Amino acid sequence: MKKILLFPFLVFFLCGGLWGADFSLSMGAGGLVGGFFTRYKATGTAESERMTQQVNQINYGGLVFFDATYAELAIIIQGASNNYNEVMRRNNAMVPRDGNGWETTLGFSLLGKYPFALTERFTIAPLLGIDYQIALMERRRLTGGIVYDRTNGVEEQDKNGKAFNLSTWNSFWINVGAGLDFNITKVFYARGELLYGFRLMTSYESDGLEQMKDLLNDNSPKLTGLTSGPSLRLVVGYRFWPK
């Protein structure tokens, strides 16, 4: 609920100063590539009891966007593939799980920006914003196994022993970066945006932490780590009512 409330608040904050500014409206479409790296470690009271998770993911997709000079809203459809490694160590015994995964998400991205004209054709802008990604498909394959749907309730279950809901993998991101516009004509322009994102913990990872408490027999394991990564967007836009 806090994530949902934050989105309209940021829209209001970013757009609040627009009415007194000279701005233009535009829209366009393009593609993106990127990825992220997850490195988590949960450690029990006894140092010999710990669980680690590593994920390396490549993202690719397309987007449409709407721009109002100081704010950009994008709708993104994105596919991804990854490799993962999860290890539990307890009493000098090690239980590894590794393999590959695939996912599809529908994302909503809001960026605030402040453009500076470098020349008549080039404009640069620092970027700060958020993404909310809705999981549409989650699949995995253990090394040597077959591809399975992560919501089937067989290979993976939540802390209550039930199947995961697809929304368990919805994610919230905070992005920083910079963008560059090149004016092809008065109405058409090309844009490149380089972003670096930091992801908040998903419900899947929060549930996993609860399961770790039972597996490690520890009510307060220490969790450290981060999920973050870069993305590059390349788009073409059309400017309405050019000057």
What's the confidence (pLDDT) of residue 213?
77
User: What is the reported pLDDT for 195?
Assistant: 98
Asked if the structure places residue 2 within a domain, the reply is: no
**Residue 132: predicted pLDDT:** 98
Whole domain around residue 203: which residue ranges? 34-240
186 domain residue, yes or no? yes
Q: Is 129 helix (H, G, I), strand (E, B) or coil?
A: strand
pLDDT of residue 228: 97
**Per-10-residue mean pLDDT, the chain, length 243:** 49 42 83 95 71 93 97 98 87 80 98 93 96 97 93 91 95 98 95 97 87 75 88 97 76
Identify whether 130 is part of a domain: yes
Whole-angstrom CA distances from 68 to 18, 30, 177 are 8, 17, 18
Could you say which DSSP state residue 170 is in?
-
Per-residue pLDDT at 242: 76
In a domain, 166, yes or no: yes
Q: What is the pLDDT of residue 212?
A: 77
pLDDT at residue number 17: 40
Q: Does 173 reside within a domain?
A: yes
Total tally of structural domains belonging to the chain = 1
pLDDT of residue 162: 93
What's the token pair of residue 210?
A: 């609860």
What's the pLDDT at 6? 53
Question: 93 in a domain, yes or no?
Answer: yes
Secondary structure (3-state) at 241: coil
Residues 6+ apart with CB under 8 A from 141: 99, 100, 101, 147, 148
Convert 50-116 into a string of H (helix), E (strand) and C (coil). EEEEEEEEEEEEEEEEEECCCEEEEEEEEEEEEEEEEEEEECCEEEEEEEEEEEEEEEEEEEEECCE
For residue 19, is it within any domain?
A: no
